[in-house]
Amino acid sequence: MEQRIMTSPAAKIEEAVTFNDQGLVLAIAQQHDSGEVLMAAWMNREALAETLESGQVCYWSRSRQSLWRKGESSGQTQKLIELRIDCDGDSLLLRVDQKGVACHTGRRSCFYRAIDKGGDMKELLPVVVDPKALYGR
């Protein structure tokens, strides 16, 4: 009789992901229903596993060298709706339900600046929430 080894869904996903030499993978957060690109951050294996297990998005903070549970201090959380892995496995697309703003500047998206044809930078999105109110700074 053939013996089957059961692999958890999280283990299958982790096998498909290519982490860089620092043990990280790029994660792009996108609002699931509008397609709006919200932010880019990094995940390590632990952050990815926690996100898959809890359904609440968790990243790896390179500056703090610790897990960063999105919304832990600001209340601006991301619920994972769907995880997509790119063709090389070195980037993730997190389709999320964003509560509040995604950017630490108080804007809905971190991608609020654009360069026009003349080379000038324009701000496209207003500050929705004062960052001091989000982080108490």
Please determine, for residue 30, whether its predicted confidence score (pLDDT) is greater than 80: yes
Question: How much is the pLDDT for 40?
Answer: 98
The pLDDT tens digits for 50-106 are 999 999 999 999 999 999 999 888 899 999 999 999 999 999 999 999 999 999 999
Concatenated DSSP letters of 21-76: TTS-EEEEEEETTT--EEEEEEE-HHHHHHHHHHSB-EEEETTTTEEEETTTTTS-
Question: How much is the pLDDT for 14?
Answer: 77
Please determine, for residue 1, whether its predicted confidence score (pLDDT) is greater than 80: no
Tokens representing 125 are 């999105």
